Amino acid sequence: MPISEFLAGVRAKVGNDLLILPSATACVFDDQGRMLVALHKEQGDLWAPPGGIIEPDESPDDAVVREVREEIGLDIRVRGLIGAYGGPLYRASYANGDQVSFVMSVYGCAVAGGALSPDGVEIDEARWLSEPETVGLTMPGWAPAVIIDGFAWWRASRDARSPVA
């Protein structure tokens, strides 16, 4: 679903003017420590972790679970908050002229079920990549910082789970 009914209603009132939107992003990791990244059609074929806007009365962690299920077909379990992000790198302009500035909650997640199946509407393709494999991908300006922080979170959470020798 490229635009929610709620956001479509707001856009009908304000046109393409800048909106500040809350969003949630999932850094989903597999057992080998690879992160799921998706090819986002609506953002001009850019690679980034999956996510989207938070709907009215929806918690950020519920939103990230919903977005990954809708876009990628996976059920995920939120394991922790990586961070909150915003600022100039989190602004976007869409082909229809819409201007947005995202305030993004980013979560570390694990797969709980489902099958990797991009929706073909918002997401064309999804891949599990190691940190070095993410270098060189065409990404929105915000994604490199989130990906670096995501892999740092995964390493720290893995180390916290490891038994002490």
Predicted confidence (pLDDT) per residue in 100-148, tens digit: 999 999 999 999 999 999 998 889 999 999 999 999 999 999 999 999 9
- What is the mean pLDDT of the segment spanning 12-18? 95
Whether residue 163 has pLDDT greater than 70: no
Whether residue 165 has pLDDT greater than 50: no
Full-model pTM: 0.91
Length of the chain: 165
- Round the average pLDDT of the chain to a whole number and report it: 92
Q: How confident is the model at residue 99 (pLDDT cuts 50, 70, 90)?
A: very high
Provide the sign of the torsion angle of the four alpha carbons 40, 59, 144, 103, taken in this order: positive
Predicted confidence (pLDDT) per residue in 30-41, tens digit: 999 999 999 987
Q: Residue 82's closest CA among 155, 139, 161?
A: 155
- How many other CB atoms are found less than 10 A from the CB of residue 109? 27
| Block residue for tokens 């390493």 | 155
Q: Residue 22's closest CA among 65, 52, 49, 62?
A: 52
Whether residue 162 has pLDDT greater than 90: no
Q: Which residue has the higher pLDDT, 87 or 3?
A: 87
pLDDT at res. 47: 96
| Block residue for tokens 């939120």 | 78
pLDDT at res. 42: 67
Report the DSSP pairing between strands 46-48 and 35-40. Answer: antiparallel
Whether residue 1 has pLDDT greater than 70: no
Q: In this prediction, what percent of the chain has a pLDDT beyond 90? A: 82
Whether residue 43 has pLDDT greater than 70: no
